[in-house]
Amino acid sequence: MKFTAGYWQLAPGVEAIVAKTIESVEFDEASLTAYCPNRELHHRGDTLNGPLITVSLSSPMLGVIRVRLAHHLGGRAPIGFVAASDRPLCTVEIRDESGWSIIDDNGCSDPSGSASGGSPSGNAADLPSPADRPSTTGPTLLKEGHAYTLTSGELSVTLRQGGPFALEFRHDGQLLTQSGGRGSAHYTVGGESYLASQLGLGIGESIYGLGERFGAFTKNGQVVDIWNEDGGTSSELAYKNVPFYLSSAGYGVLVNQAGPVSFEVGTAATSAVQFSAPGETLEYLIFDGPTPKEVLERYTAVTGRPPALPEWSRGLWLSTSFTTEYDEATVNSFIDGFEQRGIPLSVFHFDCFWMRQYHWCDFVWDPAMFPDPEGMLARLHQRGLKVCVWINPYIAQRSYLFAEGAAQGFLVKREDGSVWQWDMWQAGMALVDFTNPEAAAWYCAKLEALLDQGVDCFKTDFGERIPTDVVWHDGSDPHQMHNYYAQLYNQAVFELLRRRRGEGEAILFARAATAGGQQFPVHWGGDCESTFVSMAESLRGGLSLALSGFGYWSHDIGGFEGLPDPAVFKRWCAFGLLSSHSRLHGSTSYRVPWAFDEEAVAVLKHFTLLKASLSPYLERVTGETVEHGWPMMRPMMLEFPDDPACAGLDRQYMLGDSLLVAPVFTASGEVDYYLPDGQWTRLDSGEPVTGGRWVHETHSMMSLPLLVREGCRVERVG
């Protein structure tokens, strides 16, 4: 949020405590702490009746620096995404005019990084020259005059005691960003406290990420509030808010708290990214690059890597759609239609009304529509299909689980001890309290019965409408739990599937998420309109999520709301089958291709078979996602960070490292795309195409720009 009115003045009603200078610096075996008053200190009396901002610097892993800001330390710590432990300092050096001397050597040449700190020891006369000393593998601290530099890998941060407050972050000596001026500040607005920090923006620096955001791909000039909402894909609201951004200057920043965070990207100050959160403390981590891939690799090493997924999950998923009428005969008619037309299906999904109306969720099949669920699921398996069913974490009052959950204390409560309820979505619905391990186990036991029947995976819908006027079982701050609830919900279901189905076989289709949610995939883009405009905004959301650490992503082919024009559906089929995961799903109408026209059947078949032929290549790309945390669908700037023309591209992407995909967003087939420098080859024809230029083409419904990068190989079958 903005605390200022222009550059010079505070906004009306805002009081500020801004770190002005660094009065003193202390360090121990794991961190460096600076004490920063909000005024210049000319005599001892200046230390009275004035606050301090305490700034602590440490490193949880090489190439990552943690910054903790605090005004008052007595409050409740926020929920964080990164553990509090930090690597011990490997060496501490003091240099002065006579050379340098070491005051602490913790023996961090041990690559395990497990050495512990000790008391100061040694002197300059006893030490070998710098050239003869062994290299270290842990963070190091250098004091040179009044300057302190904490170095972790090639990333360093420098501050200067006695001078104006400033933190300077460098990669291998080159300045990445800095925090000065209002770089560390406490604000009071209407009696509420906030901690804020600013990190400088360089000329031409672009900011990406901050979750699945459907607006402009580069976040410069935007105000982004990290607060999960069920807002569709056409506004500034988002289902998946992630307080992490990636900079084109070669670093990333994670604000390490699950509660609300406000980002002012070049808006509170045009030369800085400001981030702020309610409370008396704020913690953020800087992730070194220098390439965007290296930033994501470090970020996912800390917050969790995407796991391997079953190969069958990359095939085509078909849904019943949301409010359509269906029973087993309807389901079979769809599957028969796909078989007759030679379109391979991998997964059949039952959306909400597999359960009785007003009973969501009781996890009981509607007996009027599905009188023999076990037999039906067995018959679907005999046809080579996996089965997914829709669930959410809400318990309708009419569900038999409501009374059961309330009696056992498994539902979220209000401050007066009553069960929290409302009538939005389901009449009298309550919310499962996943902060209670017994409640999570109770919920998962109900799902386990479905697995016993033959269900293979779950669509974990919702998780954004989480109230703040409640009391959680573990005492969590309700504002911290609002975003983090999706993490607990998806984690509980994913770990059940992993336990029951085995490593590499668990998969969700989830909507809500926050930082670290990439560990429980897949996530899809939510409720979009059935238009070309919404198709493009969906892609922007997926690319933004990709730069927020998420390795897999999907969307509703054809759009969710309304009935798509046949041209929209056919163009979306090509885009959808060249995404990491591919699902046909709608709201009030079926998404079988013959409902549009016969050409739609041919288009869907062509691209389904094309994706199947790319299976060896996609398997290799999946391996990179699991090992390095790189997304399968990659923004152009991730693969071509040195090409300035790629900085803002959001209507095309790389599928893995080798295959450029440019979806067509027009009925006419006209498309403009940028081809980076080098020689490219069309995947379908083998025709060479010279890069380093923009290309304008017209494509039939059966094609789109799909080119192989020079020097790369796209493994195929068939």
Domain final residue, candidates 597, 626, 655: 626
The answer to whether 564 touches 233, Cβ cutoff 8 Å, is no
pLDDT recorded at residue 525: 97
Bridging pattern class, strands 272-278 and 192-200:
antiparallel
pLDDT recorded at residue 268: 95
From the CB of residue 658, how many other CB atoms can be counted at a distance below 10 Å?
A: 20
Q: How far is CA 111 from the centre of its chain?
A: 30
Among 43-52, 350-359, 510-519, the least confident range: 43-52
Tell me what percent of the residues of the chain surpass a pLDDT of 70: 94
pLDDT recorded at residue 83: 86
Catalytic status, residue 461: yes
591-602: pLDDT as tens digits: 999 999 999 999
At residue 130, does pLDDT exceed 50?
A: no
pLDDT recorded at residue 118: 32
From the CB of residue 243, how many other CB atoms can be counted at a distance below 10 Å?
A: 28
pLDDT recorded at residue 471: 98
466 and 360 assigned to the same domain: yes
The answer to the question of residue 526 being in a domain is yes
DSSP one-letter code for 661: E
When pLDDT is cut at 50, 70 and 90, the band that residue 546 belongs to is very high
The answer to the question of residue 66 being in a domain is no
The answer to whether 492 touches 444, Cβ cutoff 8 Å, is yes
User: Which of 263, 215, 260 lies closest to 236, judged by CA?
Assistant: 215
Provide the angle, in degrees to the nearest 10, between the axes of the packed helices 328-340 and 373-382.
10
At 408, list the tokens: 């056992």
pLDDT recorded at residue 339: 98
Average pLDDT of span 21-49: 93
> CATH code at 684?
2.60.40.1180
Q: Is the bond into 361 cis (omega within 30 degrees of 0)?
A: yes
373 and 442 assigned to the same domain: yes
Residue type, 60: P
Bridging pattern class, strands 91-96 and 140-144:
parallel
User: Which of 462, 488, 458, 460 lies closest to 473, judged by CA?
Assistant: 488
Bridging pattern class, strands 670-675 and 633-634:
unpaired
Cα 626 to Cα 454: distance, rounded to the nearest angstrom: 28
At residue 117, does pLDDT exceed 50?
A: no
Domain with 563, as residue range(s), is: 311-393+435-626
Cα 373 to Cα 388: distance, rounded to the nearest angstrom: 13
Question: What's phi and psi for 594, nearest 5 deg?
Answer: -70, -10
pLDDT recorded at residue 237: 97
Tell me if residue 632 falls in helix, strand or coil.
Answer: coil
The answer to the question of residue 4 being in a domain is no
What is this structure's pTM? 0.94
The answer to the question of residue 41 being in a domain is no
The answer to the question of residue 561 being in a domain is yes
Q: How far is CA 350 from the centre of its chain?
A: 27
Sheet holding 556-557, edge to edge: 457-460, 386-391, 347-350, 316-319, 582-584, 556-557
The answer to the question of residue 562 being in a domain is yes
Alpha helices per DSSP H over 454-552 = 478-501, 532-546
362 and 323 assigned to the same domain: yes
Sequence-distant (6+) residues with CB within 8 A of 356 are: 362, 364, 366, 368
554-604: pLDDT as tens digits: 999 999 999 999 999 999 999 999 999 999 999 999 999 999 999 999 999
From the CB of residue 43, how many other CB atoms can be counted at a distance below 10 Å?
A: 6
619 and 488 assigned to the same domain: yes
The answer to the question of residue 702 being in a domain is yes
At residue 102, does pLDDT exceed 80?
A: no
Element (H, E) at 15: strand 14-18
Average pLDDT of span 231-253: 97
pLDDT recorded at residue 137: 75
Cα 128 to Cα 142: distance, rounded to the nearest angstrom: 17
At residue 123, does pLDDT exceed 70?
A: no
Tell me if residue 457 falls in helix, strand or coil.
Answer: strand
- Calculate the alpha carbon distances from 651 to 482, 646, 673 in Å: 32, 11, 8
At residue 41, does pLDDT exceed 90?
A: no
At 19, list the tokens: 């770190």
From the CB of residue 619, how many other CB atoms can be counted at a distance below 10 Å?
A: 13
At residue 96, does pLDDT exceed 80?
A: no
Angle, CA of 667, 672 and 673, to the nearest 5°? 130
Token match 């390795």: residue? Answer: 551
pLDDT recorded at residue 106: 54
Among 130-139, 247-256, 266-275, the least confident range: 130-139
From the CB of residue 246, how many other CB atoms can be counted at a distance below 10 Å?
A: 28
Among 49-53, 397-401, 439-443, the least confident range: 49-53
User: Which of 597, 529, 523 lies closest to 559, judged by CA?
Assistant: 529
Point out the catalytic residue in the list 230, 464, 529, 650: 464
670 and 602 assigned to the same domain: no
At residue 232, does pLDDT exceed 60?
A: yes
The answer to whether 142 touches 151, Cβ cutoff 8 Å, is yes
Tell me what percent of the residues of the chain surpass a pLDDT of 90: 90
The answer to whether 543 touches 530, Cβ cutoff 8 Å, is no
Cα 539 to Cα 663: distance, rounded to the nearest angstrom: 9
Provide DSSP, 363-422: --B-TTT-S-HHHHHHHHHHTT-EEEEEE-SEE-TTSHHHHHHHHTT-B-B-TTSSBP-B
pLDDT recorded at residue 57: 97
pLDDT recorded at residue 695: 98
At residue 98, does pLDDT exceed 70?
A: no
pLDDT recorded at residue 56: 97
639-658: pLDDT as tens digits: 999 999 999 999 999 999 99
537 and 685 assigned to the same domain: no
DSSP one-letter code for 134: P
At residue 181, does pLDDT exceed 90?
A: no
569 and 663 assigned to the same domain: no
Average pLDDT of span 317-331: 97
The answer to the question of residue 564 being in a domain is yes
Among 105-119, 348-362, 621-635, the least confident range: 105-119
374 and 512 assigned to the same domain: yes
Token match 């062509």: residue? Answer: 606
The answer to whether 573 touches 600, Cβ cutoff 8 Å, is yes
Domain final residue, candidates 581, 603, 626: 626
> CATH code at 514?
3.20.20.80
When pLDDT is cut at 50, 70 and 90, the band that residue 133 belongs to is very low
Number of separate domains in the chain: 2
Catalytic status, residue 464: yes
455-503: pLDDT as tens digits: 999 999 999 999 999 999 999 999 999 999 999 999 999 999 999 999 9
The answer to whether 122 touches 105, Cβ cutoff 8 Å, is yes
Cα 633 to Cα 547: distance, rounded to the nearest angstrom: 10
Point out the catalytic residue in the list 104, 527, 556, 639: 527
Sequence-distant (6+) residues with CB within 8 A of 373 are: 365, 453, 454
Domain final residue, candidates 608, 626, 644: 626
Cα 108 to Cα 141: distance, rounded to the nearest angstrom: 12
User: Which of 524, 622, 492, 547 lies closest to 218, judged by CA?
Assistant: 547
Average pLDDT of span 444-451: 98
621 and 679 assigned to the same domain: no
- Calculate the alpha carbon distances from 298 to 82, 520, 543, 631 in Å: 12, 18, 19, 14
Token match 């030679």: residue? Answer: 342
Q: How far is CA 578 from the centre of its chain?
A: 21
Q: Is the bond into 37 cis (omega within 30 degrees of 0)?
A: no
Cα 186 to Cα 184: distance, rounded to the nearest angstrom: 7
DSSP one-letter code for 644: G
380 and 467 assigned to the same domain: yes
Q: Is the bond into 522 cis (omega within 30 degrees of 0)?
A: yes
What is the chain's mean pLDDT, rounded?
A: 94
Sequence-distant (6+) residues with CB within 8 A of 207 are: 201, 218, 219, 220, 245, 246, 247, 248, 265, 266, 273
Our CA dihedral for 41, 43, 48, 51, rounded to 10 degrees, sits at 10
Cα 288 to Cα 118: distance, rounded to the nearest angstrom: 28
From the CB of residue 241, how many other CB atoms can be counted at a distance below 10 Å?
A: 28
Q: How far is CA 540 from the centre of its chain?
A: 14
350 and 456 assigned to the same domain: yes
515 and 646 assigned to the same domain: no
63-76: pLDDT as tens digits: 999 999 999 999 88
Provide the angle, in degrees to the nearest 10, between the axes of the packed helices 615-628 and 292-303.
70
